[in-house]
Amino acid sequence: MAYQDLREWISALDRAGELKRIKAEVDPILEITEITDRVSKWGPRGSHGPGGPALLFENVKGYPGWQVLINQFGSERRMQMALDVDSLDEIAGRIKYFMDVKSPEGLLDKIKMLPMLAELGKFFPKEVKSGPCKEVIQRDNFSLLDFPILQCWPQDGGRFITLPSVITKDPVKGKRNVGVYRMQVYDERSAGMHWQRQKQGAEHYRERLRRGAAQGEAQPTTAELDQMARSGGGSRVPGGKQVAGRMPVAVAIGTDPAVAFSSIVPAPPDIDEFLIAGFLRQKPVELVKCETVDLEVPANSEIVLEGYVELDELRPEGPFGDHTGFYTMEDLYPVFHITCITHRKNPIYSTTIVGKPPMEDAWMGKAVERIFLPLMRLTLPEIVDVNLPVEGIFHNLMIVSIKKSYPGQARKVMNGIWALGQAMSTKCILVVDEDVNVQDVGEVTLKVLNNIDPERDIQFTLGPVDSLDHASRLPDFGSKMGVDATRKWPSEGFTRPWPDEITMDPETKERVTKRWKEFGLG
Ligand SMILES: Cc1cc2nc3c(=O)[nH]c(=O)nc-3n(C[C@H](O)[C@H](O)[C@H](O)COP(=O)(O)O)c2cc1C
Ligand SMILES: [Mn+2]
């Protein structure tokens, strides 16, 4: 059953004992982070779970009447609740169900497909006339400074909106994109728009730059496009030509959990994340038209910011304490100018913090790992399982097990992953045989390091790297490493015998089990 909105989700968390309300006064400057960070790290020693409860701050210093929600996704259990499943693999199962369709062979087959088609219809977003996000419409007297936006870490460049669903459209194809890109508050009506270079919002922006430039005297050269596209945005076409124009942008804050989660999933570029949300909640996302821009936003949003990004404006953004555990340094990004704010009465501000793992985003990342497994298998069917260990911060380390059938297959898999959407920036890929449990990092360490001849089995490549990588030779460009830790075959030039793994024989095991009490070992 889909949650209607953020409030129904909060009630569900409350009923399940997954929410703590904090009535003591707390400062949105640093204090909420310190409290949430400690709670995120609750859990048995040596493991990452269970992640502590969701927190609702009801007495935010300087913001009477406001409530701030944080850590809503911060445990495996809550991630399952958010997507209404008992195990995240259930979603993978539902994806597989739709993917396994073979073309119908006769009328009976076609009839059998009808329920599936009817179900598909439930996923598409649906436009409605109005909704709760229109309860208060502010066209003039509004200010971002009225919102309890956090300053997360001491060296942050200011306050940041950390969980906004940023909605844009491709200017040519008209296709919508929704992505979470943090927004640094500059003043009452403007904020940074931190879409990183390889993200879809940035691509929509570049598409406008290309079009704008095309309407001018000359097409930009490749070098000019590169410069314009720096940091996902661009300022001027070099040579004094200015690409004037505005890109409409809408931002939804505080939606139902399926919409918020869908905004972070690395969906293929042309897929509308509201369709994914519809699939996850098995009910269409209801959208309303914005007041001042030609975009639609979830009708149930707590807060909607409408506005535009100027095509010829960049401004320093950052520093920001990031999910790498380090600060990302100041860099140039486009600026979002607000033309209108609409919100529910007494809106609830929904946010998150990132920092040293594990934090709330670790659980979102784990959900992505589970849900995307069947989609990875579409391109790389030999993949058995994937683990993105939390300290690998998603882009630094991917461990993947494969069913190996031919020489060199591990390297084919690495190259496939480096070609797969946001996985392109994976800094280190470990490929192991299918008998290795990739979820057990201890077992992976034992087997990978035993099985490799480093010079032979490590492969370097050059290409796009994550914008948050502070060690790469250049921003967004650097080297990546793949480790082929599968057993080497004679057909791969390995002719030495390969030893068996140590295991006890079943007879001895059984004999010892039967007599276990005799030994007085508990
Ligand atoms: C809490 C949180 C904050 C994020 N902040 C940013 C950000 O500031 N910039 C960015 O490019 N991606 C950020 N991301 C990652 C994107 O949301 C993610 O890559 C998403 O898939 C992008 O969608 P897109 O492919 O439609 O661009 C963040 C993710 C989370 C969970
Ligand atoms: Mn997208």
- Would you state the pLDDT for residue 221? 65
pLDDT at 2 over 60: yes
For range 133-147, the mean pLDDT: 97
Residue 120, phi then psi, degrees to nearest 5: -55, -40
In this prediction, residue 340 has a pLDDT band, given cuts at 50, 70 and 90, of: very high
For range 20-24, the mean pLDDT: 98
Q: Supply 81's token pair.
A: 């609740």
For range 356-369, the mean pLDDT: 96
**Ligand 2 (single-atom ion) residues, CB below 5 Å:** 177, 200, 267
Q: Which residues are catalytic?
A: 322
pLDDT tens readout for residues 163-216: 999 999 999 999 999 999 999 999 999 999 999 999 999 999 999 988 876 665
Residue matched to tokens 């076609």: 110
Q: What distance in angstroms lies between residue 262's CA and the mean position of ligand 2's atoms?
A: 9
**Ligand 1 atom with the shortest distance to the CA of 183:** 8
pLDDT at 38 over 60: yes
Residues comprising the chain, all counted? 522
More confident residue, 409 or 47: 409
Indicate which ligand has the atom closest to the C-alpha of 263.
1
Burial of 43 (0-12, 13-18, 19+ CB in 10 A): middle
- Would you state the pLDDT for residue 48? 52
For range 81-104, the mean pLDDT: 89
d(CA 270, CA 507): 57
**Ligand 1 atom with the shortest distance to the CA of 177:** 26
pLDDT tens readout for residues 285-310: 999 999 999 999 999 999 999 999 99
- Would you state the pLDDT for residue 374? 93
Indicate which ligand has the atom closest to the C-alpha of 320.
1
Say what percent of the chain tops pLDDT 90: 84
In this prediction, residue 46 has a pLDDT band, given cuts at 50, 70 and 90, of: very low
Q: What distance in angstroms lies between residue 145's CA and the mean position of ligand 1's atoms?
A: 23
Number of neighbouring beta carbons within 10 Å of residue 368: 18
Q: What distance in angstroms lies between residue 422's CA and the mean position of ligand 2's atoms?
A: 10
Q: Whose CA is nearest to atom 7 of ligand 1?
A: 181
pLDDT at 233 over 60: no
β-strand pairing of 126-127 with 286-289: parallel
Q: Which one of 167, 178, 181 would you pick to mutate in the ligand 1 pocket, going by the greatest count of ligand atoms within 8 A of its CB?
A: 181
Q: What distance in angstroms lies between residue 245's CA and the mean position of ligand 2's atoms?
A: 23
- Overall pTM > 0.85: yes
More confident residue, 120 or 489: 489
Q: Which one of 195, 199, 420, 426 would you pick to mutate in the ligand 1 pocket, going by the greatest count of ligand atoms within 8 A of its CB?
A: 199
Q: How far apart are the first and last CA of the chain?
A: 46
DSSP 8-state code for residue 60: B
Q: What distance in angstroms lies between residue 242's CA and the mean position of ligand 1's atoms?
A: 29
Beta strands in 326-402 (DSSP E): 327-328, 331-343, 348-350, 383-387, 397-402
- Would you state the pLDDT for residue 54? 98
Mean pLDDT of the chain: 93
Question: Could you tell me which residues come within 8 angstroms of residue 483 by beta carbon, excluding any fewer than 6 positions away?
Answer: 428, 429, 430, 431, 448, 452, 457, 458, 459
pLDDT tens readout for residues 304-328: 999 999 998 999 999 999 999 999 9
Q: Per the omega criterion (within 30 degrees of 0), is the bond before 268 cis?
A: no
Say what percent of the chain tops pLDDT 70: 93
Distances 496 to 271, 409, 486 between C-alpha atoms, Å = 49, 20, 15
For range 127-140, the mean pLDDT: 97
For range 419-423, the mean pLDDT: 96
- Would you state the pLDDT for residue 232? 45
Annotate 439-473 with DSSP letters as a single string. T-HHHHHHHHHHH--HHHHEEEEEEE--TT-SSSS
- Would you state the pLDDT for residue 251? 98
In this prediction, residue 489 has a pLDDT band, given cuts at 50, 70 and 90, of: very high
Residues with CB under 6 A from ligand 1: 162-163, 177, 179-182, 194-196, 199-201, 264-266, 352, 354, 361, 364, 422
> Which of 74-88, 93-107, 426-440 has the weakest average pLDDT?
93-107
d(CA 349, CA 343): 10
> Which of 217-221, 394-398, 442-446 has the weakest average pLDDT?
217-221
Q: Supply 7's token pair.
A: 């409030």
Residue 373, phi then psi, degrees to nearest 5: -55, -50
pLDDT at 442 over 50: yes
Indicate which ligand has the atom closest to the C-alpha of 71.
1
**Ligand 1 atom with the shortest distance to the CA of 200:** 27
